[in-house]
Amino acid sequence: MDFFWLLVVNITLSVLSTPVFSLTTCPCSDSSLCNPVSSPPRKEVLVFQHRGTLWKSYDWSIVTTVAMFGKYDPDLMCYAHSKGARVVLLGDLPVAQLTNSTYTKLWIKQQVKLAQDQFMDGINIDIEEALPNTEAPLLTKLISDTSKAFHEAIPGSQVSTDVMYSPNCINECCFDYKGIADACDFLMLMSYDEQSQIYGDCIAMANSPYNKTAKGVSEYLKLGISPDKLVLGVPWYGYDYTCLHLTQDRVCSIAKVPFRGAPCSDAGGKQVAYFVIQQILAANSTTGRLWNSTYEAPYFQYKNTETGRTHQMWYDDPESLSYRYKYAKSADLRGIGVWHGDCLDYDGKGKQQAKEMWEAITSFLQV
């Protein structure tokens, strides 16, 4: 359903069978930069790093944690540490192995070793396969054991878990959310791809509708999870939908692509990075930027040059993100997260837009 994640999963499933990359000596010019970051719990600005060296252009005055989801990059580790930011691993395993305690024990050992060998500060556990309610305790135990192992081996380390935008078995991920929140440092809410299961009209909608996002957070809080255990993840990408039919009031019917029991999903569209969306908005839009005030999100339409078809693009920009950052602040959440930091054009025509995307985060941080 989500091509960004699929890329990642293919890499990580092989972890147990291939020798892990490991360093023998500190790769940083100043060897003290190989020490784990020891700052106490604080408001988080967690950024997922996906590929390449665009991280050099992140706003390091506000980043607190980088989840290194691309290839391990020692320069990124040294640099992040020089800015007091933690660097965490991607943690993923096949849920079929949760019943195999030989596997999970070995997995935990390997993750800790990988983090130590690479001078990292923890792990972000990202398991998005369907998990039936009956197996939820196994995942909670894995996360609890992983937390204990990390906190013991690397003092001050951080263990977080990625979860769906709401705790209601979204995408058939029926975790024990309260148990997991208790077992690790915090939950990173993936408050995007919120149209992964559409049961009503099969139409284009916002990726991260404000009303649905806020409802999801409130449901986590209702479980008795402290706001200090919740990081609100937001998208720096959007969805491009081809309209099969378009009404005068801009309701765009999309291809019916089922996903985990739902007849329709955002897999009927295509994920597009923010900087590409801005290029299409500038060059091809037939409507200009429009605003949906229920979703607090922008969208626009354009005609594809090659096919002549009308498309509807739903996305987030500094204005819509500010609503979400302000919400996170007003709810006193632990932090915000960004999927992902490499969706921007830091050096070319999108440079100013990239700056504005980072600046919008100040609406979460301002006191």
Ligand X SMILES: *[C@@H]1O[C@H](CO)[C@@H](O)[C@H](O)[C@H]1NC(C)=O
Q: Which residues bind ligand X (CB under 6 A)?
A: 16, 100, 102-103, 106, 203, 205, 209, 211-212, 215, 280, 283-284, 292-295, 304-305
**Beta-carbon neighbour count of residue 7 at 10 Å?**
13
Q: Toward ligand X, which CB reaches closer, 42 or 349?
A: 349
Cα 130 from chain centre: 18
The CA-CA-CA angle for residues 64, 66, 67, to 5°, reads 140
Partner residues linked to 301 by β-bridges: 312
Q: Toward ligand X, which CB reaches closer, 294 or 362?
A: 294
Minimal distance, residue 193 CB to ligand X, in Å: 15
Minimal distance, residue 239 CB to ligand X, in Å: 12
Minimal distance, residue 307 CB to ligand X, in Å: 8
Minimal distance, residue 306 CB to ligand X, in Å: 7
**Cβ within 8 Å of residue 295, ≥6 positions away:** 205, 206, 209, 210, 211, 212
Q: Hey, what are 316's tokens?
A: 């987030």
Q: Toward ligand X, which CB reaches closer, 136 or 205?
A: 205
Sheet with 270-273, strands from edge to edge, namely: 270-273, 237-242, 310-314, 297-303, 290-292
Q: What is the spatial distance between Cα 348 and Cα 344, in angstroms, rounded to a whole number?
A: 10
**Which candidate in 44, 128, 194, 296 is catalytic?**
128
Minimal distance, residue 286 CB to ligand X, in Å: 11
Residue 149: DSSP 8-state: H
Residue 91: DSSP 8-state: E
H-type helices in 223-290, by residue range? 274-284
Q: Toward ligand X, which CB reaches closer, 87 or 203?
A: 203
Q: Toward ligand X, which CB reaches closer, 293 or 366?
A: 293
Name the residue with tokens 């402290």: 226
Active site residue 44: no
Q: Which residue is nearest to ligand X (CB)?
A: 103
Q: Hey, what are 22's tokens?
A: 């490991």
φ and ψ at 107, to 5 degrees?
A: -60, -50
CB 297 within 8 A of CB 335: no
Residues forming the active site: 128
